[in-house]
Amino acid sequence: MTTPKQTIQSGRAVLGIEFGSTRIKAVLIDENNAPIAQGAHEWENRYEGRLWTYSIDDIWNGLRDCYADLRKNVKEQYDEEITSLAAIGISAMMHGYMPFDKDENILVPFRTWRNTNTGKAAAELSKLFNFNIPLRWSISHVYQAIIDGESHIKDIKFLTTLAGYVHWKLTGKRVLGIGDASGMLPIDSTTNDYDATMVEKFDSLISSKDLGWKILDILPKVLLAGENAGNLTEKGAELLDPSGNLQAGIPLCPPEGDAGTGMVATNAVRQRTGNVSAGTSSFSMIVLEKALSRPYEAIDMVTTPCGSPVAMVHCNNCTSDLNA
């Protein structure tokens, strides 16, 4: 039987990193999916300019500190250094708004899922699509910014989520797991891609604005669980591990949202299974056999990491009061 020390030595361990609302977690697992080491970094969102956000420095300083804590624990437990891994996966709080310009600079501070300034946009899009579009979804954020006449809109070259952003910087790939992508724009589970009819409707809606882009021009490519999502670059390895011990070339899985993380962690990915999550927000999910026949305001439609439709009921507040 392979020991955790041998698994780490041979580069067969798998690293998962999750950006939660109050804590960034790193977990190292062996070939049997058993956890063998972990690291963590606590952080808090900021309320700035009437919006909830985390700064770019918060993201990278937090990631590096979390990984350094993992390295420290591996050294203490096994007297080993992590140099190579079988794979890496990034997950993070779903939805939100991270728009970037042609020089890869973020155009406005990251707007998280907690923001509720998108009421007008969400209502208009829900009616246009005949599909419930929640306040926190990326399409609500971008359309609200268009409605509000925000000056940065014409400069958007790429729009992604937190998991998609971190993955992009580690690999150079502008991709997103289908579960997280379903919190950007509705997914058609028969094609496992953004819903083509809704894409067309949205482009028609904004055509008079002369923005210089259509929605698919700026969204990440949708990937399913198990598909190749790129490899850790030299620059990415340095971002994650400034000590220089971690080598480039490690494959990464498609970046996912925290809903997908919860489904996998609770073994609720198959159709007719479900789970409940109690975190900073709370939500319950049931994996469906087919899409709902009509929209329901209380039900958000997302997907599993392999593309099955999921009915989610979500509430913004859950454990914050308990934590306090």
- pLDDT tens-digit series, residues 162-191: 999 999 999 999 999 999 999 999 999 999
- Range of 70's domain? 4-323
End-to-end CA distance of the chain: 44
Structure tokens at 87: 């794979």
Residue among 43, 131, 129, 142 nearest 93 (CA): 43
Q: What is the pLDDT of residue 281?
A: 82
Measured torsion, CA atoms of residues 16, 92, 307, 266, in degrees rounded to the nearest 10: 60
CATH number of the domain at 245, please: 3.30.420.40
- pLDDT tens-digit series, residues 74-129: 999 999 999 999 999 999 999 999 999 999 999 999 999 999 999 999 999 999 99
As for how many domains the chain has, the answer is 1
Q: What is the pLDDT of residue 194?
A: 98
Beta-carbon neighbour count of residue 208 at 10 Å?
7
Structure tokens at 79: 């007297």
What single letter denotes the amino acid at residue 102?
A: K
What single letter denotes the amino acid at residue 228?
A: N
Residue among 82, 45, 85 nearest 67 (CA): 82
Q: 317 burial class (0-12, 13-18, 19+ CB within 10 angstroms)?
A: exposed
Residue among 30, 35, 37 nearest 76 (CA): 37
Q: Tell me what percent of the residues of the chain surpass a pLDDT of 90.
A: 90
Q: What is the pLDDT of residue 324?
A: 78
300-303: strand order across its sheet? 274-278, 282-287, 309-315, 300-303
**Alpha-carbon gap, residue 48 to 146, rounded angstroms:** 20
311 close to 299: Cβ distance less than 8 angstroms: yes
Using CA atoms, how far residue 226 sits from 163, 186, 230, 250, in Å, is 16, 21, 12, 15
Q: What is the pLDDT of residue 319?
A: 81
Question: In sequence order, what are the beta bridge partners of 53?
Answer: 46
Q: What is the pLDDT of residue 322?
A: 77
What single letter denotes the amino acid at residue 143?
A: Y
253 close to 225: Cβ distance less than 8 angstroms: yes
Maximum C-alpha span of the chain: 64
Structure tokens at 262: 């919860």
Residue among 200, 252, 253 nearest 226 (CA): 253
Give 10-residue mean pLDDT values along the chain (324 residues).
94 97 96 96 95 97 98 97 98 95 98 95 97 96 98 98 98 98 95 98 97 98 97 98 97 95 92 90 91 92 94 85 76
Q: What is the pLDDT of residue 212?
A: 96
